[in-house]
A = this chain, B = another copy of it.
Amino acid sequence: MQVRSNMIPFPLNGTRQAQGACADCGVKSRAVCAGLAPEETGILTTIMSTVTLAPNQLLFEQGDLRSRAYTLTSGMLRLSVSLPDGRRQIAGFVTPGDYLGLSGEDVHTQAAEAVTACRLCSFPVPEMNRLMEQHPRLRDRLHELTRKALLEARGNLLMLGRLTPNEKLARFLLGLSDRAVENGQPATPLALPMTRTDIADYLGLTIETVSRSFSALKTRGLIQLADAHRVEICDRPGLTALAGLPV
């Protein structure tokens, strides 16, 4: 168990009505909005506000009432579940275009915190539900995203239950790299904005083991570290093979 770093459980500091709207949004091809008609995104705009978060700021906590749904437009969040004794599991890292609120419970079952500075679109849940009823495409899109999230979560079960530390780290890096590509960034070098503690809590390891696994992948010539938060993937096939993933 590690001591958590300075969380900032303050109310959101940057909520305001949306203005610039969705026309020039960088994630509109991947977010909920993808495939919506212009007038539908227009309607989304009417119920939308934007939120900004500073690094480590809390968006919501386990047990909070869920009153809003979100789309991340820039930055990175972590979703985590914690036990009373401090053990923590990070269920996933949220990257631009991802939607928060797919599981649709009344009360949040996980916490969401900013890894880096974040910008989000925020929608009131009741209005969102109403819109879903009126706009089949929006509803279908959310269903589709839910299915994808389910696939990802199930994939992570194998990772947590049966992979070795090196295999876990290889999978983690490849997953991040794929996401970077989806977001129009190069596959390598790869930014790792989260701390080693975050990575450890995502992979079910300790920070020391994560650090040693980074060193092991370096020694094998699979990756290079410019600094702790910047990875170059030198041998993608090798990394893929280590992760036990199909070519």
Please give the distance in Å from A57's CB to the nearest CB on chain B.
22
Q: Are B158 and A157 in contact (CB under 8 A)?
A: no
Q: Count the copies.
A: 2
For A139, list chain B residues within 8 Å (CB): 143
Q: Does A160 contact B (CB under 8 A)?
A: yes
Q: Does A162 contact B (CB under 8 A)?
A: yes
Q: Does A211 contact B (CB under 8 A)?
A: no
Q: Does A42 contact B (CB under 8 A)?
A: no
Produce 1/0 per residue, A145-175, CB < 8 A to B.
Answer: 0110111011111101110000000000000
Produce 1/0 per residue, A110-154, CB < 8 A to B.
Answer: 100000000000000000000000000001001110110111011
For A160, list chain B residues within 8 Å (CB): 157, 160-161, 204
Known interface pairs A91-B158, A160-B161; 12 further A-B residue pairs with C-beta atoms within 8 A, sorted by A's residue number: A81-B154, A83-B158, A88-B162, A89-B158, A89-B162, A102-B150, A104-B144, A109-B154, A110-B154, A143-B146, A157-B157, A161-B201
- Chain A residues at the B interface, C-beta cutoff of 8 Å: 81, 83-85, 87-89, 91, 102-105, 109-110, 139, 142-144, 146-147, 149-151, 153-158, 160-162, 201, 203-204, 244
